[in-house]
Amino acid sequence: MIAAEKDLHVGSEPKVWDVERIRRDFPVLQQTINGKPLAYLDNAASSQVPQLVIERGTRYLREEHSNIHRGVHYLSQRATSAYEGAREKVRRFINAREARECIFVRGCTEGINLVMHGYGRKFVGPGDEVVVSEMEHHANIVPWQMLCEEKGARLRVIPMNDAGELLLDEYEALLNERTKIVAVTHVSNALGTINPVKEIIRIAHARGIPVLVDGAQAAPHLTIDVQDLDCDFYAISGHKMFGPTGSGVLYGRAELLERMNPFMGGGDMIRSVTFERTIYAGLPNKFEAGTPAIASQIGLGAAIDYLNSIDRAAAYAYEQELLRYATQRLSRIDGVRIIGTAREKASVVSFTVENVHPHDIGTILDQEGIAIRAGHHCAQPVMQHFKIPATARASFAFYNTKEEVDRLAAAIEKVIEVFN
């Protein structure tokens, strides 16, 4: 394990993982697809939702539904309490200093765009530079390209090796007095690589450069401590960490958020409005214009409750065991090439099968009741690096089993048989 990342994992000694008990918490896993038991191996795209989260969302809609803030009636106060309570749960989950540093967004994409508009458009100018990595999701490339095109700035790229690991020496050489922000993923959605973000942040901060971390793939697996990482911004998506779609958080240092421009204008983000001038509200309201996704963010709070109720050290150890097992099983199949072999990985196995398009792999696996992802995974530069159009990707959560991995391997062998 990379030394800089050791403290990102839950530290206690893991216990034996009772996967069958955990699976009972997730109703969707009990169904059959095409007459076969569902093997859901598409967790990097969106994880499944436990009963606890489903029930909490239903309770809000049945008993508490009302607009939040400003309302003096009972339901509004109750909904506000649940919504702001979820924010406090997020604060503790990522160890932010203050709840006001946790901005509710619809997911990582919105969080990154918020930083691009609020920070980038204010502080990046002609000739300046923005640094991203070669393994970024499009959500952490396209907004910065838009900014650079608008401002006459330059996008610089941290290269990676053929194992899917960033080259830190070359990263350090990219940084200079024109670098205004570094934006990098914590865990690659296409490769599973766990990047040494604490070291990446240290290197940038030595030059006074702020760092945004895309934590979409990290939050479901790793313990996130934004104070220990010393990051300036950190974005997470609720639907990848067992919560509802439309939920997520952007963490930002209060002193930076206060200097930034609002992302959107409207209700709830103002202190006062006249036709001559608007005075913005304080944090976090300044960045939460309009009626938010109240049910979704309350659901995110419930997902955090669920994660806090399990032994996350044991969950992470179990996912690593699944990753090792799947890597070994697929590596033994003739014609299969695993894409992304970093020393430090989360539970993602991307692969190709010789002479078979990944979409065909995905289609045949679906007939076997196995859900994977096939395509470029919104990471086309990664595909260009490896000189392939796409991959098939199996991604695991703590509710998956070795039996499902065996079914995956058998189905891949069937794919090879069909196309040969």
Could you give the residue numbers annotated as active site?
A: 378
Beta carbons of 363 and 418 less than 8 angstroms apart: no
Beta carbons of 187 and 346 less than 8 angstroms apart: yes
Q: CA 349, CA 362: separation in Å to the nearest integer?
A: 14
> Tokens at residue 286, please?
């300044």
Q: CA 113, CA 143: separation in Å to the nearest integer?
A: 6
- Phi and psi torsions of 187, nearest 5°: -130, 130
Q: CA 158, CA 211: separation in Å to the nearest integer?
A: 14
Q: CA 307, CA 221: separation in Å to the nearest integer?
A: 10
Q: Report the chain's C-alpha Rg in angstroms.
A: 22
The verdict on whether omega for the bond into residue 196 sits within 30 degrees of 0, i.e. cis, is: no
Q: CA 99, CA 25: separation in Å to the nearest integer?
A: 29
List of residues 6+ apart from 328 with CB closer than 8 A:
none
Q: CA 211, CA 233: separation in Å to the nearest integer?
A: 6
Residue in the block written with tokens 């779609």? 245
What is the DSSP secondary-structure string of 78-133?
HHHHHHHHHHHHHHHHHT-S-GGGEEE-SSHHHHHHHHIIIIIHHH--TT-EEEEE
Beta carbons of 307 and 25 less than 8 angstroms apart: no
The verdict on whether omega for the bond into residue 381 sits within 30 degrees of 0, i.e. cis, is: no
